[in-house]
Amino acid sequence: MEIVNQEVEPQEYCSIRLVKSEDLNHHGSLYAGRTAEWFVESGFIAASALLNPKNVVCLNIHGMHFLQPVRVGEVVKFSSKLAWVGKSSLMAYVKVCKNNNDKMLVDGFITFIHVDENTRPTPHGIKLLLKTEEQKKLNEKANMLKESGK
């Protein structure tokens, strides 16, 4: 397995979803389980943009904070970017908004591990180049999550 050894500025990746009737819970709003599926997928896209996807596994969802319900027929945008990297781990920040505005519906962090062919953690060689205040704040939040073990 090849180690990447590169310094990168976090890039944002977006995926768009139409909320259909099969995505709803018994209250008629977007089911948390479906949201979690799309949430992890979005974070995975950011983590695997720099690494071979077959060597990336999800370790932990650090909360998905729902701020308002999402109804059938609404279109939601999942935006993800790397917020923190360790030796073999990467943490992505994911934000969910309605597609027609930037009002946040859900956000949280996800940790992924870079693994070898035996699914053992292995160094990835990525270092984040944090240029903006937003990138630095997300990095601080992610680092606090990592240190707290939550």
3-state class (DSSP) for residue 97? strand
Residue with tokens 């977006």: 14
CA dist 17 and 70 (Å) reads 11
Residue 84 to residues 6, 60, 124, 143, Cα–Cα distance (Å): 14, 14, 13, 7
pTM: 0.92
Can you give the C-alpha Rg of the chain in angstroms?
Answer: 16
List CB contacts of 123: < 8 A, sequence separation 6 or more. Answer: 3, 87, 88, 114
Quick: pLDDT tens for 39-65. Answer: 999 999 999 999 999 999 999 999 888
In this prediction, residue 136 carries a pLDDT of 96
Q: Are 123 and 3 in contact (CB under 8 A)?
A: yes
Could you read off the pLDDT of 78-134 as tens digits, one per residue?
999 999 999 999 999 999 999 878 889 999 999 999 999 999 999 999 999 999 999
